Structure 1
Amino acid sequence: MESPEKARLVAGWLDDKQAERICAMNVAGMTSVTDVVIVVSARGVKHAQALASHVLEMASEENVEFLSMEGHKTGEWVLLDLNDVIVHVFLDELREFYNIEGMWTEAPRIELDA
């Protein structure tokens, strides 16, 4: 599966659980770490944890490679590493503070299903 297609799949999983302000950026060629960065907002800690857990469960069901997860215990900023797709789940105030989208302003946005 190509990275943009995988990003759309993961974004759909996040949307199923009411993730807010989903943004997917194609960073292929800009970093050696990943090809796509997805940033989403959660309504609270439990919502962030639920979003991350759902992605992990769906990745397992769909045989999507999953490397690691950080921050699940605190739930304020959860990072999911799906190899060529990295997902950041933020509480809104931390999303604004860390401004991941601002770090990748030159990265093309991936159009996601409405």
Structure 2
Amino acid sequence: MNKEKKYLVMESGDKAKLVADWLDEKQGEDIVMLDVSGFSSVTDQVLVVSARGMKHAQALADHLLDQAREKTVEYLGMEGYRSAEWLLVDLNDVVVHIFQKELRGFYNIEGMWAEARRTDYTA
């Protein structure tokens, strides 16, 4: 008996590119994709994106969730929506960090994963 897949199945790198495209659709800035598959036991890809302010950060997160629902991409949870200074969206093998522009450097997620293969997003 073949069990129907509940969620879209794709390679994590392809999924990261798809999610980056969604962020770009809503004018997410300085999108970076980090392949952490060799360093992390909880995810394969980390995306970091800057938002122009609180409403923009929330709009980026809302758009991610809308697209994930529409395309049946697995969604596990979100943190930080209310203050929207740093939002974390967990899409299982892809984790997205949405920062208000002025806080991104302070938290330095890219520096934390300095060993990871980094790809600066281009549409």
Q: Please, what TM-score do these two structures have when normalized by structure 2?
A: 0.90
Structure 1 vs Structure 2 CA RMSD: 1.0
The CA deviation string for residues 37-96 of structure 1, in whole angstroms up to 9 with x for no partner, is: 000000000000000000000000000000000011111111000000000000112111
**Residue 101 (structure 1) aligns with:** 110
Q: Please, what TM-score do these two structures have when normalized by structure 1?
A: 0.96
State yes or no: 1:75 paired with 2:121. Answer: no
8 Å contact from structure 1 (residues 4, 110) kept in 2: no
Whole-angstrom CA distance in 2 between matches of 1:105 and 1:40: 16
Q: Percent identity?
A: 62
Count matched residues.
114
**Residue 3 (structure 1) aligns with:** 12
Runs of 4+ in 1 over 3 A off after TM superposition: 110-113
Structure ID, larger Rg = 2
Whole-angstrom CA distance in 1 between matches of 2:111 and 2:31: 14
**Residue 91 (structure 1) aligns with:** 100
Q: Which residues of structure 2 form unaligned runs of 5+?
A: 1-9
SS of residue paired to 2:118: coil
What is the CA-CA distance between 1:109 and the residue it aligns to?
1.6
Whole-angstrom CA distance in 1 between matches of 2:97 and 2:45: 11
